[in-house]
């Protein structure tokens, strides 16, 4: 009787082929692959774009650049509908106060709502603040940041880049993302809102988040005040100006 022998079947798999090829790679090739290090490269980019930024400086009566007196300074960041003419009108009633007022004017938005000012550059604003301090008799230990509405977001970024410039903050009808408050400098913050503002819940959330991060913050809500009226009521508060003028 003849012996019947079954021909063995050969199974081919791409995976087995890959593993087999890897096993038979020359050792020198494997060692060479392990020795290859990433090449470090440097990309250099130079921009010749000129950036200009307008700002207003209000000097108090009796200011003497050559005198020994150092004056407290308030830096004001305008809201989304602000411009130089409007800011000048807003500060007209306060020029007799014993402060140097600095008001950088937010540039017009390149896109979005026509005629609105929607983006602050915190690095440029910080350089403007340092320039004014260097050129005037400013009490560097008493430099406050006052912001209104859209200026609130600019102030959060400004304090992130230049926390050393300011001793206290006044927020009018503004809010800040809680993640940014985590890095806020530990300086006193006073928040003011109007009871009729549609964004009041966001203001309250900002205050609650600031307290959770250990910030020294208070919240005043003006009864019956809307968005614009909140700024007017706040800037007419004599107790606030006394606080800003006192030693930090």
Mean pLDDT for 39-45 is: 63
Mean pLDDT for 8-23 is: 46
Tell the residue number behind the tokens 């005037």, with chain if given: 136
pLDDT over 60 (residue 142): yes
What does the alpha-carbon distance between residue 160 and residue 154 come to, in Å, rounded to a whole number? Answer: 10
- Indicate the pTM of the whole model: 0.76
Tell the residue number behind the tokens 């140097």, with chain if given: 100
Residue-level pLDDT at 21: 47
pLDDT digits (tens, 9 = 90+) for 146-201: 988 876 656 667 887 888 999 999 999 888 877 778 778 889 999 999 999 998 99
Residue-level pLDDT at 229: 94
pLDDT digits (tens, 9 = 90+) for 98-121: 999 999 887 776 655 544 445 677
**pLDDT: is 60 or 8 the higher one?**
60
Structure tokens at 89: 């009108």
Phi and psi at 73, nearest 5°, equal: -125, 140
Q: DSSP secondary structure string, 19-77?
A: HHHHHTS-HHHHHHHHH--PPP--------------EEEEPPTT--TTSS--EEEEEEE
Residue 20, burial from CB neighbour count under 10 angstroms (0-12, 13-18, 19+) = exposed
Residue-level pLDDT at 243: 96
Residue-level pLDDT at 1: 46
What does the alpha-carbon distance between residue 169 and residue 184 come to, in Å, rounded to a whole number? Answer: 11
Mean pLDDT for 205-210 is: 91
Q: How many other CB atoms sit within 10 Å of the CB of residue 234?
A: 23
CA dist 107 → 37, 152, 179 (Å) = 47, 15, 26
**pLDDT: is 1 or 204 the higher one?**
204
């Amino acid at each position: 009787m003849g012996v019947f022998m079954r021909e063995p079947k050969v199974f081919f798999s791409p995976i087995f082929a890959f593993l087999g090829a890897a096993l038979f790679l020359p050792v020198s090739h494997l060692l060479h692959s392990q020795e290859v290090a990433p090449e470090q490269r440097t990309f250099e980019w130079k921009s010749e774009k000129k950036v200009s930024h307008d700002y207003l400086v209000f000097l108090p009566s009796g200011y003497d650049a050559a005198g020994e007196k150092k004056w407290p300074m308030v830096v004001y960041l305008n809201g989304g509908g602000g411009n130089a003419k409007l800011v000048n009108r807003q500060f007209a009633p306060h020029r007799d106060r014993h402060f140097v007022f600095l008001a950088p004017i937010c540039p017009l938005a390149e896109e979005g709502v026509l005629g609105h000012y929607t983006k602050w550059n915190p690095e440029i604003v910080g350089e403007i603040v340092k320039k004014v301090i260097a050129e005037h008799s400013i009490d560097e230990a008493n430099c406050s940041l006052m912001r209104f509405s859209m200026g609130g977001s600019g102030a959060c970024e400004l304090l992130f880049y230049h926390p050393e410039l300011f001793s206290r903050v006044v927020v009018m009808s503004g809010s800040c993302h809680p993640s940014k408050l985590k890095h806020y400098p530990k300086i006193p913050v006073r928040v003011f809102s109007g009871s009729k503002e549609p964004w009041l819940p966001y203001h309250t959330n900002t205050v609650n988040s600031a307290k959770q991060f250990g910030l020294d913050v208070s919240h005043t809500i003006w009864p019956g005040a809307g968005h614009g009226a909140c700024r007017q009521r706040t800037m007419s508060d004599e107790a606030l100006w006394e606080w800003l003028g006192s030693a930090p």
